[in-house]
Amino acid sequence: MSVVWLVLWAAGAVADQAMLQETAAAGLPTFVIPALAAVAILTAPERIYRRLLYKLTDRLLQVVRGWLFHVDTVVPLVRVQHIDVTRGPLEKAFGLATLVVHTAGTHNSIVMLPGLAPQRAAEIRDIIREHVRTDFA
């Protein structure tokens, strides 16, 4: 997301120098775009997290996300192939983890559930793993 804002800022600065030097708006894009970027970068993660919901039942995992583009993914637990709990450097810094569920099939065969506490991600992984074991026992 930061890279997009950096490109927009560079384009605004170039346009400012090339077209707006002799107008009352001179310098405006160069300062307004970084201000908008700061607001977006600081508020977007929290807004995205609020729009992320999940439900785990004894038969399926449902992940709902999005505001403008709403995605509702339902994974029958019998289709789960394997489960990962991942933690990148930023997730470790903020005490978070991502549950990654790999399913049978090709289209949308990876379902990710980010922003979980590491203990909760491990609990969900263990619940799903136990369900997969009982299906094949």
Of residues 124, 129, 104, the one with CA closest to residue 114: 124
Residue 1 in this model has a pLDDT that exceeds 70: no
Percent of all residues in the chain with a pLDDT value above 70, rounded to a whole number = 96
Percent of all residues in the chain with a pLDDT value above 90, rounded to a whole number = 38
In this prediction, residue 135 carries a pLDDT of: 62
pLDDT tens digits, one per residue of 17-54:
888 777 777 778 788 888 888 888 888 777 777 788 99
Phi, psi of 111 (to 5 degrees): -115, 125
pTM exceeds 0.75: no
Average pLDDT, the chain: 86
Phi, psi of 65 (to 5 degrees): -145, 160
Tell me whether residue 136 is exposed, middle or buried, using C-beta atoms within 10 angstroms of its C-beta: 0 to 12, 13 to 18, 19 or more: exposed
- What's the rounded Cα separation, in Å, for the pair 52 and 113? 8
Domain with CATH 2.30.29.30 in the chain: 53-136
pLDDT tens digits, one per residue of 54-83:
999 989 999 998 878 889 999 999 889 999
Strands of 71-76's sheet in order across: 53-56, 60-65, 71-76
Asked whether 98 and 85 are in contact (CB, 8 A), the reply is yes
In this prediction, residue 14 carries a pLDDT of: 84
Which residues are CB-neighbours of 50 under 8 A, at least 6 positions away? none
Q: How many CB atoms lie within 10 A of CB 121?
A: 24
In this prediction, residue 8 carries a pLDDT of: 85
Top CATH class, 53-136: mainly beta
In this prediction, residue 33 carries a pLDDT of: 86
